[in-house]
Structure 1
Amino acid sequence: MDLSSFEMDNSVSCRLASQIPDVCRTEDCCLGIDEAGRGPVLGPMVYGICFCPVSRKEKLKELKVADSKTLTEAERERLFQKLDESRNYVGWALQILSPNTISTSMLQRTKYNLNALSHDTAIALVQYALDNGVQLKEVYVDTVGPAEKYQEKLSQRFPGIEVTVKPKADSLFPIVSAASICAKVARDRVVKGWKFNEDLGDVDPDYGSGYPNDPKTKAWLLKYLDPVFGYPQFVRFSWSTAQTLMDSKAVPVHWDDDEEDGEKAAQRQNNKSMLSYFSASAGGNDQSQTHKTHRFFTERRLRSLNTL
């Protein structure tokens, strides 16, 4: 599993995939879908698919694949190696959704919650398999939201494919267990090898499980909260845990009334408007001040604009 493409820019989503076994292009296949890292406030969420010929899906039982949550990290790594060694009839694909992708999606103006993001990611992965010639006849999915509605949605999107959506599918269907293992192995490796683009010095790697109710995770979030710019991109800043800490510990921000022009309001209060900081660096009227752009903007590849 080569994670270099994601590590080059861990602020965006990234797809990884194995080679498509030749047999999957000629025989009817089954495909399982599962995710890893839905709940944590730290790190990415990874969606995975695994597929193989229907005639060989019982072979997955011989590999003793199981729900990744019931396995140790070493067991998951060992089973992923077995799946990789079975590449002549097993294929997989992953979508790594960075914390930044998750949070910016959820906080955009048009409502786009985590369930919708999960559904769209799963659909895109199934479509990827079809586009690459996998002869899908059966799809098994661990449910996100009401199982019946999700199953109906997938069945309408992929007519001619038998779709089964069930809670705990990762413990019921070996092909979903295999997808679960692929997704969890990828997330574990990404989190363990996370490269911080922010200048944080020697980052404390002891952030616990990454789940909001973990005391170690809460302590880590408090330690690395910048009072002005918030969190590094390792953190899902849309999570209520992160927002609560920012509200209580970060510098408060006052937004002028939308009905009053921001420039005029700033002048009335003898303050500089937020816009003035951008216009100056973009070649605006105020050229007397020179200042270095804060790393928050350079790390996110943000730049000033003269016009909208």
Structure 2
Amino acid sequence: MDTAVDDPQQQEAEDVTLEEAPLSSVFVPPSINEPALLAGDSYSYFSPVPASLLPPPGSPLDSAAMGPPCALGVDEAGRGPVLGPMVYGVFYLPIDQSDPLLRDNAAHRFDDSKALTPAVRAALVRALCTPSTDLHDSCGWAITALSARDIGAGMLRPGTTGAYNLNAQAMDATVELIRQVYARGVNVREIYVDTIGQPAAYQAKLERIFPTARVTVAKKADSLYPCVSAASVCAKVTRDVALETLWRARGKTGGQIMERGGDKDRGLKEVEEGEKAEEECMAWGSGYPSDGRCVAWLRGNMHPLFGWGPECRFSWGTAKDMLEASPAKGGGVKVDWPADEDTDTHRLTDFFVSGTQEKDVDELGTWFGTPTGLEAF
């Protein structure tokens, strides 16, 4: 969970792994909402809560009977990329099963998602989603995918409310995910959250919001706590397949090289270099600004007026610099918006009734046309 650093690109060198995204033909998790992704909308997915984690059947809502005490982990994937969503994941299971089921089990050993190959991550989530497996029967998970469009719109939000920065968006997504798990009847007693920045203030805030749980916010929690490792894997698999879903709809067919003066040859060359391995992976690569394929795709597919589609985070420096460059260097068209006039006092009725109209004008005659006097007869 990234909370102290609001510029995600400062953390990119530490976080990014320029691996090939897994093909969606391997496994598409149920957390993929293709219509929402293509529309640029944020969304959430919650797995069914295993019956073993719920209160006994027939227990009233205000009953003291509860399900087994559970540990819940939180982690994210895709904070730094300029393309695609940022995905927050939560994963929960009985406290006493955390290590035996997630770390000591030879069949499925979770770890920080960056330490696992795409194939291993996909296999773990597939097992989690397969009925009658020990993971499916004992664990639950959920994700929130914050779309690139909504991230950028929040960070660039004008007006008196000011920017809705990435840290605030991440915090709100995390809190809502945990609240929804509680609302589904899960007895969450321990919460573990991964953070890059200083954890103390963030932990104190979560303790105020969830006073019945023991909260632990720590750096590298995805390597220390199994439930955070599992949340990391769920978020990463969702993010990878979401990026490929966007690529198939946007990147593969979403525009040709724009002719922009002196930038045309450079764009063509970079796109050609970035597409050498296109048969094996997406031509826009991982979506990180440090990935040459990503930068080449952005430069070669930028509309001079509209930029890109909702797959792009317009608030990122990579995108802003390209759009704000001069046209001679392949930049976008400069648009000057007229300033708002505070003295504007127009009323809706001003557009329908003339201010010089006489009060005694025949209403019916005016409605149908020019009033006709008696002299006409």
1:213 CA displacement: 1.9
Structural mapping, 1:96-135, within 5 Å: 96-109=145-158, 110-135=162-187
1:80 CA displacement: 1.6
The answer on whether the counterparts of 1:147 and 1:166 sit within 8 Å (CA) in structure 2 is yes
Which residue of 1 is the match for residue 34 of structure 2? 7
Structure 2 gaps of 5+ residues are 1-28, 55-66, 258-274, 276-281, 326-330, 345-377
Hey, what's the Cα distance between the residues in 1 that align with 2:228 and 2:253? 39
The answer on whether the counterparts of 1:65 and 1:174 sit within 8 Å (CA) in structure 2 is yes
Q: Which digits, 9 at most, give the CA deviation of each residue in 1:264-308, with x for residues without a partner?
A: xxxxxxxxxxxxxxxxxxxxxxxxxxxxxxxxxxxxxxxxxxxxx
Please tell me whether residue 23 in structure 1 is matched to residue 58 in structure 2: no
Cα separation, partners in 2 of 1:250 and 1:134, compared to 1, 3 Å: same
* Residue aligned with 2:310, SS: coil
Cα separation, partners in 2 of 1:3 and 1:64, compared to 1, 3 Å: closer
Which residue of 2 is the match for residue 191 of structure 1? 243
Root-mean-square deviation (Å): 2.4
Q: Which digits, 9 at most, give the CA deviation of each residue in 1:196-223, with x for residues without a partner?
A: 3997258973112211122211111111
The answer on whether the counterparts of 1:115 and 1:145 sit within 8 Å (CA) in structure 2 is no
TM-score by length of 2: 0.66
* Residue aligned with 2:295, SS: helix
- State the AA in 2 paired with 1:253: V
Hey, what's the Cα distance between the residues in 2 that align with 1:2 and 1:167? 29
The answer on whether the counterparts of 2:91 and 2:141 sit within 8 Å (CA) in structure 1 is yes
Which residue of 2 is the match for residue 89 of structure 1? 138
Which residue of 1 is the match for residue 270 of structure 2? none
The answer on whether the counterparts of 1:139 and 1:163 sit within 8 Å (CA) in structure 2 is yes
Structural mapping, 1:61-80, within 5 Å: 61=103, 62=105, 63-80=108-125
Greater CA deviation, 137-146 or 48-57?
Answer: 137-146
The answer on whether the counterparts of 1:119 and 1:144 sit within 8 Å (CA) in structure 2 is no
Which residue of 2 is the match for residue 231 of structure 1? 308
1:252 CA displacement: 1.1
Cα separation, partners in 2 of 1:175 and 1:167, compared to 1, 3 Å: same
The answer on whether the counterparts of 1:115 and 1:144 sit within 8 Å (CA) in structure 2 is no
Q: Which digits, 9 at most, give the CA deviation of each residue in 1:185-205, with x for residues without a partner?
A: 011111112233997258973
Structural mapping, 1:1-308, within 5 Å: 1-3=29-31, 6-10=33-37, 11-25=40-54, 26-58=67-99, 59-61=101-103, 62=105, 63-84=108-129, 85=133, 86-109=135-158, 110-143=162-195, 145-194=197-246, 195-196=249-250, 200-201=254-255, 205-248=282-325, 249-258=331-340
Which residue of 1 is the match for residue 24 of structure 2? none
How many residues of Structure 1 are paired with residues of Structure 2 in the alignment? 263
- Aligned sequence identity (%): 41
* Residue aligned with 1:193, SS: helix
- State the AA in 2 paired with 1:71: L
Which residue of 1 is the match for residue 353 of structure 2? none
Hey, what's the Cα distance between the residues in 2 that align with 1:183 and 1:55? 23
- State the AA in 1 paired with 2:254: L
Q: Which digits, 9 at most, give the CA deviation of each residue in 1:168-194, with x for residues without a partner?
A: 100000100000000000111111122
TM-score by length of 1: 0.80
Cα separation, partners in 2 of 1:186 and 1:70, compared to 1, 3 Å: same
The answer on whether the counterparts of 1:23 and 1:53 sit within 8 Å (CA) in structure 2 is no
Cα separation, partners in 2 of 1:260 and 1:119, compared to 1, 3 Å: closer
Q: Which digits, 9 at most, give the CA deviation of each residue in 1:57-90, with x for residues without a partner?
A: 1221123100001111101111222333311110
Hey, what's the Cα distance between the residues in 2 that align with 1:206 and 1:108? 31
Hey, what's the Cα distance between the residues in 1 that align with 2:292 and 2:153? 26
Greater C-alpha radius of gyration? 2
Hey, what's the Cα distance between the residues in 1 that align with 2:212 and 2:154? 31
1:44 CA displacement: 0.6
